[in-house]
A and B are shown apart, each in its own frame.
Chain A
Amino acid sequence: DTGVSQDPRHKITKRGQNVTFRCDPISEHNRLYWYRQTLGQGPEFLTYFQNEAQLEKSRLLSDRFSAERPKGSFSTLEIQRTEQGDSAMYLCASSLFRTSGTHLYEQYFGPGTRLTVT
């Protein structure tokens, strides 16, 4: 399977604990995005990387959230001191950004990690 994968698919944690999610993008894709989706809403942008550089962070991403993409391949999203309001589906997507030629705008999403904070 050459699609975007995310691990774990489900995570239940107690309030105050730290959690870390992993995303493996499509191998040739240089851009990686994180989104958060709550019940009944569309996904909301959190942050994105081009290669290993984190280029933008949403104001939704509080200081408790940190994301990395150390070698420009997989990415991790860590939430420290989780709160009940962090309960959501965390989606990762990847795309191929071309600096020349026709850009491909489509993003390919992983299955998501569903986080439940009790």
Chain B
Amino acid sequence: SQQGEEDPQALSIQEGENATMNCSYKTSINNLQWYRQNSGRGLVHLILIRSNEREKHSGRLRVTLDTSKKSSSLLITASRAADTASYFCATSMGSNYKLTFGKGTLLTVNP
């Protein structure tokens, strides 16, 4: 079963604009990760935030985590056409560290 739910399901923006995607989850976690998937291909790890962290940056990416609300957001600044992809949040808990994914947000960046 899916742990997380991303919002919105689809997002279309113009190149240069910022894109914000949200993720909600249901149970306590060790960490939350964001992955990108280009059409029909494997997933690429973007960024990880641990449960005791509130905000993290990596290049044009900014992730926030609110464990009291069980939610996270991913901000992509100054978007590019190459950012067009599906973005998934994934939570990890327990010693097995298996990932539980949401359904993803399909981001389209128009040139």
Contact = CB atoms under 8 A, between A and B. Distances in A.
A42 B97 contact: no
Contact of B43 (A31, A43, A105): A43
Nearest to A114: B40
Contacts of A110: 42
A97 interface: yes
A96 to B, nearest CB: 11
Contacts, number: 63
B41 A107 contact: no
A91 interface: yes
Contacts of A35: 99
A93 B88 CA distance: 15
B100 interface: yes
Chain B: interface size category = 20 to 34
Interface in A56-92: 56, 89, 91
A45 B45 contact: no
Interface stretch (B11-19, B59-67, B77-85, B101-109): B101-109
Given A48-B96, A95-B97, A111-B42, A42 B33 contact: no
Interface of A: 4, 31, 33, 35, 40-45, 48, 55-56, 89, 91, 93, 95, 97, 103, 105-112, 114
